[in-house]
Amino acid sequence: GITRKELYTIKLTAQFVARHGMNFQSNLMIKKRDMDDSRFEFMNQTDCRFDYFNRLSAAYAKEMPPRNRNAPSACTATVLDGF
């Protein structure tokens, strides 16, 4: 099963990915891999929760205001530091 805390982490991360784009997701994956942070295992394609996370990110992205989500922004680094 999945805990409430895991579900909350997945949902919140999916919202950030939807808002800040694939560049944010890639940078977060690199940062978490370097730190060996197990809270974000769902971002690995081999994790059973990855498909849910991916679909949730896509659903949130459809509801976000249009913008270039793949362009790096100054706030992306700040947000990544918070993770």
Q: Where are the domains of the chain?
A: 4-82
Mean pLDDT in the chain?
83
pLDDT at 67: 59
Q: For residue 56, count other CB atoms closer than 10 A to its CB.
A: 18
Average pLDDT over residues 8-35: 88
Q: Yes or no: say if 79 and 24 are a contact pair by the CB < 8 Å rule.
A: yes
Does 76 have pLDDT greater than 60? no
pLDDT at 1: 83
Reported as a pLDDT band with limits 50, 70 and 90, residue 74 is low
Structural class in CATH, domain 4-82? mainly alpha
Nearest C-alpha neighbor of 2 from the set 60, 55, 50, 61: 50
Alpha carbon separation from 1 to 4, 14, 48, 73 (Å, rounded)? 10, 19, 11, 36
Spatial separation of the C-alpha atoms in residues 70 and 79, rounded to whole Å: 15
Average pLDDT over residues 31-55: 89
Which of 50-54, 58-62, 67-71 has the least mean pLDDT? Answer: 67-71
